[in-house]
Amino acid sequence: MRPTALVYSAALSQHILRDTHPMRPMRLRLTAELIQAYGAIGPGRGQLAAPRPATDEEVLLFHTKEYLNAVKDFSKGERLHEADRYNFAEAGDNPIYPGMYEAAALSTGASIRAVELLMSDAVNVACNFSGGLHHAMPRHASGFCVFDDPVIAIKAMANRGLKVAYVDIDCHHGDGVQYGFYDTPQVLTISLHESGRYLFPGTGFVEELGAGRGRGYSVNVPLAPFTDDEVYLWAFREIVPPLITAFKPDVLVTQVGIDTHFNDPLTHLQLSVQGFAQVVGELGALSPGKWLMLGGGGYDMSAVMRGWTMAFGKCLDTDWPNQIPASIQEKYSIHSLKDSALPDLTQRQRSDARQAAEQTVADVKRTIFPFHGLAGLV
Ligand SMILES: [Zn+2]
């Protein structure tokens, strides 16, 4: 078992963006309850570590001072007439709510705390499910994300001279993180996602491959709606292991959004929790020793609780029993960890998704692999 920390406290799960908003931070509390019900925290298992708020200096590793100050003021209910300049809107993706700055600083600080635990050699794996807010940009909020904790956490490590590989398996393109490292070969970013032709943020095509010295170090694997476990795993295995092996990172950072699930209300990929957990386990096997796991999207509560509990198990090299512990079964009416009924796709949906994945994989191999000394042609 690898020494592993879960960075979590209930304070991360208490804010409400808006009553009807799909991002519900209470999912973090439910996930932590299930993880603890399986006995994953304790002697000989994972350790629980408390988060701390990110400092201004840490937020400024990626964001502008002007934006940071605006977030602080909006959070107190001040200067609200300037909300749109920073992409906030009451009825939109990024509502302003009281305590917004404190909530964003704490989830960002949780990712930095995870980095501190890894860098001090206290653990080999550190996990912050409240992080992975990969859409935020230097000067504005985006896609439910206020501060971009993955960029900030990676910069904290890259500034020590470490090579970092970032793999983002959220259903949405990891556009903020791609932007943060677009022109450097020190950080390899790989995002597998539902194609921007169908889904927010509308980017993440294979041709977005980096700039200058960073050319070949931004990797995008856009997939079609109805991509299921089998097609996803095939595309993942064709692209991710060879690139990580060739890149030889010092640290692996994974963003494990679980909005790829077939029950997710916002997206159209069709993964099961067990397919998702298989991908996470294969990522863990690629880790060079230090592994930072961040959360991300995930809007079906049961899929989030179960998928992230299985993901935390992968950190501990453990597969939990399929039967959910009795206390949780009673409280939340969920009974098995894995999905028992899988999506019923038509032959046409399957073959279209397969064909699209084959095209994407061929394009990535042709355009990206030669930058890494890998054969570009299949
Ligand atoms: Zn997402």
**Separation CA 38–CA 25 (nearest Å):** 21
Instruction: Walk me through the domains of the chain, giving residue ranges and CATH numbers.
Output: 4-372 (3.40.800.20)
CB 221 within 8 A of CB 235: yes
pLDDT tier at 211 (50, 70, 90 boundaries)?
Answer: very high
Region 174-196: mean pLDDT is 98
First-last CA distance in the chain: 37
Please provide residue 375's backbone torsions phi and psi, each rounded to the nearest 5 degrees: -60, 130
CB 167 within 8 A of CB 280: no
69 to 79, 80, 150, 300: CA distances (angstroms): 11, 12, 20, 33
Task: Find out whether the peptide bond into 201 is cis, omega within 30 degrees of 0.
Answer: yes
**Tens-place pLDDT, residues 228-285:** 999 999 999 999 999 999 999 999 999 999 999 999 999 999 999 999 999 999 999 9
Q: What is the pLDDT of residue 375?
A: 85
Torsion of CA 356, 360, 366, 367, to 10 degrees: 140
Q: What is the pLDDT of residue 174?
A: 98
Expressed in percent and rounded to 5, the helix, strand and coil fractions of the chain are 40, 15, 45
Going from the Cα of 192 to the center of ligand 1, the distance in angstroms, rounded, reads 11
Please provide residue 30's backbone torsions phi and psi, each rounded to the nearest 5 degrees: -65, -40
CB atoms within 5 A of ion ligand 1 belong to 170-172, 257, 259, 297
Percent of the chain with pLDDT over 90: 98
**Separation CA 348–CA 214 (nearest Å):** 38
pLDDT tier at 1 (50, 70, 90 boundaries)?
Answer: confident
Residue 22: pLDDT over 80: yes
Residue 210 structure tokens: 């980096």
**Separation CA 236–CA 234 (nearest Å):** 5
Please provide residue 261's backbone torsions phi and psi, each rounded to the nearest 5 degrees: -65, 145
**Separation CA 338–CA 275 (nearest Å):** 9
Q: What is the pLDDT of residue 200?
A: 98
297 to 13, 25, 180, 283, 287: CA distances (angstroms): 14, 11, 19, 18, 22
Going from the Cα of 170 to the center of ligand 1, the distance in angstroms, rounded, reads 5
Map tokens 């999912």 to a residue.
27
Residue 184: pLDDT over 90: yes
Nearest CA-CA partner of 249 in 337, 157, 371: 157
Of the listed 15, 63, 134, 135, which one is catalytic?
Answer: 135
Going from the Cα of 326 to the center of ligand 1, the distance in angstroms, rounded, reads 31
pLDDT tier at 378 (50, 70, 90 boundaries)?
Answer: low
Residue 377: pLDDT over 90: no
**Tens-place pLDDT, residues 357-368:** 999 999 999 999
Q: What is the pLDDT of residue 5?
A: 98
Is 193 tagged catalytic? no
What would the DSSP string read from start to end of 15-45? --S-TT-S--THHHHHHHHHHHHTT-BSTTS
Residue 20: pLDDT over 60: yes
pLDDT tier at 24 (50, 70, 90 boundaries)?
Answer: very high
**Tens-place pLDDT, residues 300-345:** 999 999 999 999 999 999 999 999 999 999 999 999 999 999 999 9
Going from the Cα of 44 to the center of ligand 1, the distance in angstroms, rounded, reads 33
pTM for this entry: 0.98
Q: What is the pLDDT of residue 347?
A: 97
Going from the Cα of 73 to the center of ligand 1, the distance in angstroms, rounded, reads 27
**Separation CA 62–CA 365 (nearest Å):** 31
